[in-house]
């Protein structure tokens, strides 16, 4: 988990620094990371933050950006085949993020279907993200050069590696290419994070033809 948690810790630290600049205090920045735990939505919320903030706008933007979790949660169902009354599953779902969701699916397609992997990797990322936010908001600016250390690229490399890891047949490559093309088009013309939802939904079309 270290190669994933270290970049997330640093990303959290950058968030903490930016949150200070936006006018939040350390406790608020840490509180947001610990309760929301959704990096891209939190970054966008900072861009919308005024003093005092317009809570409705920020909450709506958060909902739109995190709609992808609905799709990702549905994709977890075949693996986490549990009763809805299982509190552990719903606790584990609190920790669903892009990285541990993808890592869990990768693990489960290799035959190790267990809610504990989702939970464990989620908690590790949760600690890294909220801990990083606290560290960044306490440390202030200018203590690491993300670009020089290549750590800004690590955020991309995590996803390209996980993506290539899903390519067990050529059909997965085609589905990825179609989704990437749609995401590029949508991100160019529609503001916000709709491109993730649009690309993700295109995967359903591939599944439909598979039957």
Partner 1 sequence: MRIANITAILGMALVTYLTRIAGFWFAGRLGQSGSLIRRMKYVPCAVLAAIVAPLMAMGGLAEWSGIVVSMLIMILTRNFLLSLVASVLTVVLFR
User: Which of the residues 96 through 155 are near partner 1 (CB under 8 A)?
Assistant: 96, 98, 101-102, 105-106, 147-151, 153-155
Q: Computed from CA positions of residues 53, 54, 55, 59, in that sequence, does the dihedral angle turn out positive or negative? A: negative
Give the pair of three-digit tokens for residue 210: 């598979």
Minimum CB separation of residue 192 from partner 1 in Å reads 12
Q: Residue 111 and residue 172: Cα distance in Å, rounded? A: 19
Q: Is residue 93 a contact point for partner 1 (CB under 8 A)?
A: yes
Pair 51, 195: CB distance under 8 Å: no
Q: Alpha carbon of 191 to those of 96, 104, 195, 197: distances in Å?
A: 24, 30, 9, 13
Stretch that binds partner 1, among 9-17, 29-37, 125-133, 134-142 (CB under 8 A): 29-37
Q: Is residue 73 a contact point for partner 1 (CB under 8 A)?
A: yes
Stretch that binds partner 1, among 10-18, 25-33, 130-138 (CB under 8 A): 25-33
Q: Is residue 196 a contact point for partner 1 (CB under 8 A)?
A: yes
Minimum CB separation of residue 167 from partner 1 in Å reads 7
Q: Is residue 41 a contact point for partner 1 (CB under 8 A)?
A: yes
Identify the burial level of 103 via C-beta atoms within 10 angstroms of its C-beta, where 0-12 means exposed, 13-18 middle and 19 or more buried: buried
Q: Is residue 52 a contact point for partner 1 (CB under 8 A)?
A: yes
Size of the site for partner 1 (CB under 8 A): 96
Pick from 140, 161, 190, 192: which binds partner 1 (CB under 8 A)? 161
Pick from 111, 170, 189, 211: which binds partner 1 (CB under 8 A)? 211
Cα end-to-end span (Å), the chain:
35
Identify the burial level of 104 via C-beta atoms within 10 angstroms of its C-beta, where 0-12 means exposed, 13-18 middle and 19 or more buried: buried
Pick from 88, 116, 171, 192: which binds partner 1 (CB under 8 A)? 171
Q: Alpha carbon of 172 to those of 36, 62, 110, 135, 178: distances in Å?
A: 32, 30, 16, 39, 10
Pick from 17, 43, 80, 119: which binds partner 1 (CB under 8 A)? 80
Minimum CB separation of residue 12 from partner 1 in Å reads 16
Stretch that binds partner 1, among 8-16, 124-132, 134-142, 177-185 (CB under 8 A): 177-185
């Amino acid at each position: 988990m270290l190669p994933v948690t270290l970049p997330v810790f640093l990303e959290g630290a950058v968030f903490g620094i930016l949150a200070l600049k936006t006018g939040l205090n350390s406790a608020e920045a840490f509180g947001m990371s610990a309760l929301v735990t959704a990096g891209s939505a939190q970054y966008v919320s900072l861009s919308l933050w005024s003093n005092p903030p317009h809570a409705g706008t920020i909450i709506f933007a958060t909902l739109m950006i995190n709609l992808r979790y609905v799709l990702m949660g549905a994709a977890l169902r075949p693996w986490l085949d549990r009763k809805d009354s299982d509190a552990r599953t719903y606790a584990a779902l609190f920790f669903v993020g892009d990285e541990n969701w993808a890592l869990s699916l990768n693990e489960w397609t290799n035959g190790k279907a267990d809610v504990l992997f989702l939970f464990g990797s989620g908690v590790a990322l949760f600690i890294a993200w909220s801990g990083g936010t606290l560290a960044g908001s306490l440390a202030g600016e200018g203590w690491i050069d993300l670009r020089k250390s290549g750590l800004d690229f690590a955020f991309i490399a995590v996803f390209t590696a996980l993506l290539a890891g899903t390519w067990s047949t050529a059909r997965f490559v085609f589905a990825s290419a179609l989704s990437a093309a749609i995401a590029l088009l949508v991100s160019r013309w529609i503001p916000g994070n709709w491109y993730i939802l649009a690309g993700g939904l295109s995967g359903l079309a591939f599944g439909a033809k598979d039957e």
